[in-house]
Amino acid sequence: MNAAMWRTTGRDAEKRGQEAPDTKRLLLVWVPLVAVVTVMCSVCLLFNAPPSPLRSALVKRADAVFGSWYSQSWNLFGPQVPEGTWEVELRARFAHRQGEPDTREWDLTEETHPSGGARLLHQSKEGHMLNCFVEYALGARPGTDPDEDTSLRMLRTKCRDDFVSPGARTPSAPMWDRYFSAHARELARDRAGDTRRIEAVRVRLRIREVPPFEERHTGQPPAAEPPAAVHDMHDTGWHAYVPVAAR
């Protein structure tokens, strides 16, 4: 067994006066492997390289082949960390009752994320989808620079970039109507026992700022913290309810 193995490397064969290993055969083994490894490592480094004209030019060529595998950015929580908590408020408008509009509203952020110990074992895909909407909504704000880094890479990478890219925002819009309609129907029926027909849904996105670290450590107890500032970031307006057959 030893001799056979040594013969593959050649050293023992030389010692024993036998024929040395065929260099061509070794090249046939190693050249393609080294070439593949080099290409894969280069592509990995290219997709992760900092922005530059050279990177942009090369990525355009490589994206068609390797984009599905390497296009994710790995700047998780960096360079900027989110300094606010997102709140998504879902409002449903029911069919008129005696001519008066009737609405209900829910904090969808709390509804879609498991709380407490359930979070350890259950990762909410609905919550991920809501985070995807947050990124979509931030990019869809009027006047937003399409290349603006909203410092929410953790959110962006929860859905494919093409769902929040400028070119895909219009085709994605009906998906969000279905998503919010399904949740409105479910929350109204399961949580409130309200089975009336829903006419329209509306979503508002707000950000509640985290108290700055310096202010948080002024010696005051947490209860003495000033109320956090809340900013309205996006409002979809009323959209017609779209029933989801899968529901």
Partner 1 sequence: MTAANGAKGVRAPKGARAVEGVRAVECARAAGGVRALSFRFAARRHRLVGLAALRLVLGLAALEFYVTEYGRRHLLWGPEGYVPLDTFRGTVPLWSTSVYAWGGSPAYFETVHHLGILVAAAFCVCGGRALTLLHGVFLWSVQLRGGQVLDHGHVLARLLLLFLLFATCDAYLSPWASARRARLRARACRGSWNVFRNAVHNCAVFLMVFQVCAVYFFAGLWKLLGPRWRDGTAFYYVVRSLEAPPVALMTGLASVVWITVLVTYATVGLQVAFPVLAASGHRGVRQATALGATAMHLGIVPLAGLLHSSLVMIAADCLLLRDSDYRAAADAAAGVTAGAAAGAAARAPRRFRTEGRWAVRGRRRSCTMDPCPDVRPPAAPAGTRHPAVPPTRRHPAPADSPPATESAADGSTQERPLPPRPSG
Judged by CB under 8 A, the chain residues 76 through 95 that form the site for partner 1 are 76-86
Closest distance of CB 228 from partner 1, Å: 10
Q: Are 153 and 48 in contact (CB under 8 A)?
A: no
Closest distance of CB 194 from partner 1, Å: 20
The footprint of partner 1 on this chain (CB under 8 A) covers a number of residues equal to 83
Q: Which is nearer to partner 1, 16 or 96 (CB)?
A: 16
Q: Are 42 and 59 in contact (CB under 8 A)?
A: no
Q: What part of residues 131-190 is at the interface with partner 1 (CB under 8 A)?
A: 132, 154, 157-160, 162-163, 168, 171-172, 174-175, 178-179, 182
Q: Which is nearer to partner 1, 56 or 115 (CB)?
A: 115
How is the chain split among helix, strand and coil, in percent rounded to 5?
Answer: 50, 15, 35
Does 44 participate in binding partner 1 (rule CB under 8 A)? yes
Handedness of CA 120, 124, 125, 131 (dihedral sign): negative
Phi, psi of 105 (to 5 degrees): -140, 150
Q: What part of residues 101-130 is at the interface with partner 1 (CB under 8 A)?
A: 109-110, 113-116, 119-129
Tell me whether the omega of the peptide bond preceding residue 79 falls within 30 degrees of 0, making it cis. yes
**Binding-residue pattern over the window 3 to 32 for partner 1, x denoting contact by CB under 8 A:** -xxx-xxxxx------------xx--xx--
Task: Mark the segment that binds partner 1 (CB under 8 A) among 41-49, 54-62, 97-105, 137-145.
Answer: 41-49
Using DSSP, state whether 51 is helix, strand or coil.
Answer: coil
Distance CA 170, CA 192 (A): 33
Distance CA 108, CA 204 (A): 10
**Binding-residue pattern over the window 196 to 215 for partner 1, x denoting contact by CB under 8 A:** --------------xx-x--
